Amino acid sequence: MIGKAGIAFLVSFVCVVSTPVGIGRALAAERDWAAIQRAAEQGHADAQFHLGNMYYFGRGMPKDDVKAVQWYQKAAEQGHARAQNNLGVMYDNGYGVRQDVARAVQWWEKSAEQGNVNAQCQLGHMYHSGRGVPKDEAKAVRWTQKAAEQGHAEAQFNLGAMYDNGYGVEKDYAKAVQWWEKAAEQEYDEAQFNLGNMHYLGRGIPKDDAKAAQWYQKAAEQGHAEAQKQLKECNARGLTPPSSSLVPHTQ
């Protein structure tokens, strides 16, 4: 049986290094390392960022976190938002540089102020957990909301958890449901599971066992262990959702 609908605020780091961006068709495919290198050495911020990604992911050359940091740093100092975000990742995890969580936050703040959604999401987590900055739930909500409004699924999930638990905001189960629905529509399994719980308990939304089973099914298909357990209970009660409601799971 379900003990409670809300789950703990997401603390795992899933706002990982951004994917590479191109600086033109010839460079976007990462087929001309020499051209990217030349552009980076000439001070082109996009090329510096791109080269940092190539070293970080080991694309076109051996993986080298130290060199990745060096190129992210050059681009970040020119105000490149994605490079600032990635440099924060490197400092937070100690990739290619001595770990420095406070410095990671500094770079994420620069990136977030420019609207980088990953940095905004990460800042929300940092202010919630008090890592690298004093714990501040109001700022956690602020940054999480900014990312959520840009469609970031993890941020939408976290914002739902904030409303469900009253972290930095007044408890509002209906708003928790609204944000979890947005994340669940993007196949975020934790949000799907929580929606199942909310429907099951009638928390912030009318109780509806059939809809609970539907959301459990969607999360279970993605391998969510707790959802699989709850789905078995629903099935035992004859609440198996119709096949038309299922969301195919793709790898």
* CA atoms of 20 and 44, how far apart (whole Å): 15
Determine the pLDDT at residue 232: 86
Confidence of residue 243 (pLDDT cuts 50, 70, 90): very low
Percent with pLDDT over 70 in the chain: 82
Contacts of 206 (CB under 8 A, 6+ apart): none
So what's the pLDDT on residue 15?
Answer: 46
Report which of 25, 79, 82, 78 is spatially closest to residue 50, judged by C-alpha positions: 82
For 81-93, what is the mean pLDDT? 96
Query: In this structure, are residues 218 and 192 in contact, taking their beta carbons and an 8 Å threshold?
Result: yes
pLDDT at 245: 34
Residue 184 in contact with residue 26, Cβ under 8 Å? no
Mean pLDDT of 165-189: 97
What rounded mean pLDDT belongs to the chain? 85
**96 has pLDDT over 50:** yes
Averaged pLDDT, 199-210: 92
Quick check: 104 and 116 in contact, CB under 8 A? no
Instruction: Quickly state the pLDDT bin for 3 (edges 50, 70, 90).
Output: very low
Please indicate, yes or no, whether the overall pTM of this predicted structure exceeds 0.85: no
pLDDT for residue 144? 97
pLDDT (mean) for 43-58: 95
CA pair distance 99, 126, nearest whole angstrom: 15
Residue 30 confidence class, pLDDT cut points 50, 70, 90: low
With cut-offs at 50, 70 and 90, classify the pLDDT of residue 168: very high
pLDDT at position 248 is 27
pLDDT band at 7 (very low <50, low <70, confident <90, very high): very low
Confidence of residue 34 (pLDDT cuts 50, 70, 90): confident
Contact call for residues 167 and 10 (beta carbons, < 8 A)? no
pLDDT at 240: 57
The whole-number pLDDT of residue 31 equals 60
